[in-house]
Every structure is written in C-alpha cells, then in structure tokens.
Amino acid sequence: MKKRKIGGNNILLAITVALFVIMYAGGCIIYADKGFTHFQTFLNVLINNAGLIAVAAGMTCVMLTGGIDISVGSLIAMDCMLMAVGMETWGIKSPVLMAMVLVIGIVFGLVQGFCVAYLEIQPFIVTMAGMFFARGMTAVICKDQVSIVSDKIFTAISNAKILIPFGGYENKKGIYQLPFIRPTVIVVLLVVIIVFLMLKYTKFGRSIYAVGGNQVSATLMGLNVKKTKLLTYTLCSFLTSIGGICYCLNTMCGTTTQAAGLEMDAISSSVIGGTLLTGGVGNVFGSLVGVLINGTISTLVKTNGKLVSSWSNIITAILLCFFILLQAVFAKIKESKKV
C-alpha cells in the first residue's frame, strides 16, 4: 500500500489552521476575564466577517487562475448604497433589490472577465477600472449615508438570531445566555462548501486549477482557457454581491466609503490561507481560516483596549509576509525535486 505524501500545499494549510488555534487559544488564556472564552466571541468573528468570507471565496477562485480582482470592495459599496437608497428613497422591496444586486454582480463580472480573457488586458488594470467605476457609481446613487429602517423583511433578516443549544454562559446579571449566529453566517458557510465542492469535483473547478498551474499546458489539454477565466471572474463578482448583501445586513446602511480596503483583506486572507499569488494552488477552506485569523486579530486588539486599531493591520502585514516567504520556500523545494 502506497503512503500518501504530504505536499507543501497541505503543510501550508496545516500551518494556517495551527496558527489560528494557537492565536485563539492565546486570546482565551490572556483575556479570559474579558469574556474571550465565551463561544459567542468566536461566533461574533464569523458574524462580523460574513461578507468578507463570501468575497474571499470568490477571490480565491480568481487567484487560482493567476489573476486578481481589486474591485470587490467598491462593488460591495455600490451594492449597499443601491439597496439602501432603493429601500428608503425609491420604495423598492428588499427581495427585488437583492435579486438586482446579484444580477449586477454577474454583469459586472462578465464585463471584467471578457476584458481579461478575450481582450487579454492585465487583470490588475481591468479590476482597477472596475474599482473606480463602482466607487464612482456609489457616489452617483447617493453621496450621503443612508440608513435602512423602513423595509421590514430586510430588518427582520438582519435582526434574526439562530440560537445554538450549547456553549451558553451567565451574563453579569446572572441571566443564562445562549450563543447565536445570524442568517448571513449560514449563507456564507454554504457558499464556502459549494465553492469547495465545485473546485474539487467539477470539470470547471479542475479547469481553474489547470489554468493557474500552467496556461500553456491547459490549452494543450484542450481546455478553453478564455472561457474558464471569463466564468471565474463572473463567479467572483457574483460571490462578491452575495457578500455585499451580507455586509449590508450587518451594517444596515449605505455610504460612499463603505468596505474601503476590503479587497486587501480578501487577498490577504486567501494568501494566509495558502493560495499562491501565481495561481494553481489554494483551498477555499484555507481562505476561510485566513478570514478567521484576520478577524481574531481585530478582536484581540479591541479586547485589549489599549492598542490602536492600526495594530491589527501591522500584525496582518507580518503574517502576510511570513506566508509569502513560506510559499516561496515550498516552491523552491518543489522545483529542486524536479531537477
């Protein structure tokens, strides 16, 4: 019986998971008196980063092809503003607006994917143009902050709690509190599972890995490289729009500066999760753990109370450099074995 070899990709994922466990366990030890050990604290990381998880799943797919999409944060801002103004000013019901946002995501991705795949323009330039367009359209829709208060369906979804029958605790008043999650968490976890299964078991998923691994080889294998890229960018923008709905359900408003820098959070989460910037290697579950690591860092900084919020960016930058170096080391080891 052949022993299954543990590749560098699996080692990277294992390091990511181990880092998250160590980081979270450290927080539980240091800040036990501040409620960090409560199960709700972990669930809050998922709730607060629900939109980012969906975006990171889409970003992982694009990065697997060797591309990148820096328009995702601006697209979320446009989605949120459209929904906020649509409900509060135009009187459109939330289900219709959510459907509109998803369609816009698909069209947005198709345009960007066409420019990257068929016009062969660099993904960074294309998505930078998309970033400026979406951020500009956000201001065209409305320049002011718009809070969502009138739509009963959207408000009900935002306030809904799905109780967890274990992991509860007594608050300061002696009342037993059951932990809870929001519907957005269920949605994004389903997104991660579906994307994982798609990448692993479908022809399209395998094509994404093949295109990112070696585009010339993928062409020689008979794969439609241009179509794969087009569909991947469309999928990314569609998942970003799902993330935009989740993001809006968390914030319940639309602003021109919303989700600023979220594209960098998605990219860093994917890289920390083991996705290679050059493409062909990555795992959407690793990206999920990458989001949890970033969320845990922010939670630790807030729980400390004495550190400024910029420390979370500094720590993320250090981790990002660490994982990029690890990826380079494993890439060199893999090349040396081929010689």
pLDDT of 335: 66
pLDDT of 180: 94
pLDDT of 95: 96
pLDDT of 177: 85
pLDDT of 202: 95
Q: What is the tens place of the pLDDT at every residue in 35-68? A: 888 899 999 999 999 999 999 999 999 999 999 9
Q: What is the tens place of the pLDDT at every residue in 177-233? A: 889 999 999 999 999 999 999 999 999 999 999 999 888 888 888 899 999 999 999
Does residue 64 contact residue 208 with C-beta atoms inside 8 Å? yes
DSSP H or E stretch at residue 162: strand 162-163
The contacts found for 206-212 with CB under 8 angstroms, 24 or more apart, are: 208/61, 208/64, 208/65, 208/232, 209/64, 209/280, 209/281, 210/280, 211/65, 211/66, 211/279, 212/63, 212/64, 212/65, 212/66, 212/276, 212/278, 212/279, 212/280, 212/281
DSSP state at residue 5: P
pLDDT of 92: 94
Length of the chain in residues, anyone? 339
Does residue 179 contact residue 167 with C-beta atoms inside 8 Å? yes
DSSP state at residue 177: E
pLDDT of 152: 94
In this prediction, the residues of the chain whose per-residue pLDDT falls under 70 are 1-9, 334-339
Q: What amino acid is encoded at 155 in this protein?
A: T
User: Rounded to 5 degrees, what are φ and ψ at 171?
Assistant: -80, -175
pLDDT of 1: 42
Structure tokens at 87: 């409900």
- Tokens 């906020």 locate to 84
Structure tokens at 155: 């408000």
